[in-house]
Amino acid sequence: MIKTVHFPFIKTFDDYDFTFQPKLNKEEILDLKNLRFIENNENLIFIGTPGVEKTHLAVAIGIESSKNRFQTYFINANDLLAQLKKAKNENTLMRRLKHFYSYSVLIIDELGFLPITVEDANLIFQLIAMRYEKHPTIITTNKPLSKWGEVFGDVVLANAVLDRVLHHSKIFTIVGPSYRMKEKVDLFIDE
């Protein structure tokens, strides 16, 4: 079941080293394991600098939700947009949107890593508006919410998305050292 979800890697809460990101509230993160956010239709937003386990945590939650038989899907934001744009060009956008709407938990990874066009932003808006108060969406992004206007190329549209995403949501801001650089820190220290 986990295979069909398209996770980029399989990592769980047990693989997570809380001592590396001491500012993160361990109880609050582990509490996500009970999946109450699904019952409550709450979105989860992980905002942070590179390598601070945003994707890792989104995957860990996705593994829990699929283990508990919630239809779960993991997709990179650019792949999602490519699929929606293709569907729009082929006049099958509504069918594609309904497909992504149908997942109990949809994980959109790396939203805002690359700037998107207003047309793309509109497609994201349509999906978010459909899922709003029906099914939770998990988003990882490296852009603070105040920058979403720039990312979406349109402040009004970005606010419309944020309004729906944030209304019922938990936001985790993780700013810290990159775990990928853990063993490479001395390379950055001047002799």
Q: Could you list the residues that contact ligand ATP (CB under 6 A)?
A: 11, 15-17, 20-21, 48, 50-56, 110, 140, 142, 179-180
Q: Kindly list the distances between the CA atom of residue 88 and the CA atoms of 95, 96, 125, 143, 175, in Å, as whole numbers in the listed order.
A: 10, 9, 14, 27, 37
Pick 68 or 178: Cβ nearer Mg ion? 178
CB of 125 to ligand ATP, least distance (A): 23
The distance of closest approach from Cβ of residue 37 to Mg ion in the complex, given in angstroms and rounded to an integer, is 19
Q: Which residues contact 190 (CB under 8 A, 6 or more apart)?
A: none
Q: Which is nearer to ligand ATP, 20 or 70 (CB)?
A: 20
DSSP state of 170: E
Q: Residue 18 or residue 95: which is nearer to ligand ATP going by CB?
A: 18
| Residue 149 binds which entry of ligand ATP, Mg ion, none, CB below 5-8 Å type-dependent | none
Rounded Cα–Cα distance for residues 119 and 116 (Å) = 8
What pairs with residue 109 in β-bridges? 76
Contact in structure between 161 and 148 (CB atoms under 8 Å): yes
State the chain's maximal CA–CA distance in angstroms.
60
The option from Mg ion, ligand ATP, none interacting with 143 (CB < 5 to 8 A, set by class) reads: none
Least CB distance to Mg ion at residue 50 (A) = 8
Minimum distance from residue 115 beta carbon to ligand ATP (Å): 16
The binder of 76, among Mg ion, ligand ATP, none, by C-beta within 5 to 8 A per type, is: none
Q: Which residues bind Mg ion (CB under 5 A)?
A: 54-55
Our CB check for ligand ATP shows the closer of 11 and 88 to be 11
Cα(127)–Cα(123) distance, rounded to whole angstroms? 6
Work out how close the CB of 9 gets to Mg ion at its nearest, in angstroms, rounded to a whole number: 10
CB–CB of 44/170 below 8 Å? Answer: yes
CB-based burial of residue 98 (10 Å sphere; 0-12 exposed, 13-18 middle, 19+ buried)? exposed
16 binds, among ligand ATP, Mg ion, none (CB under 5 to 8 A by kind): ligand ATP
180 binds, among ligand ATP, Mg ion, none (CB under 5 to 8 A by kind): ligand ATP
Cα end-to-end distance, the chain, whole Å: 50
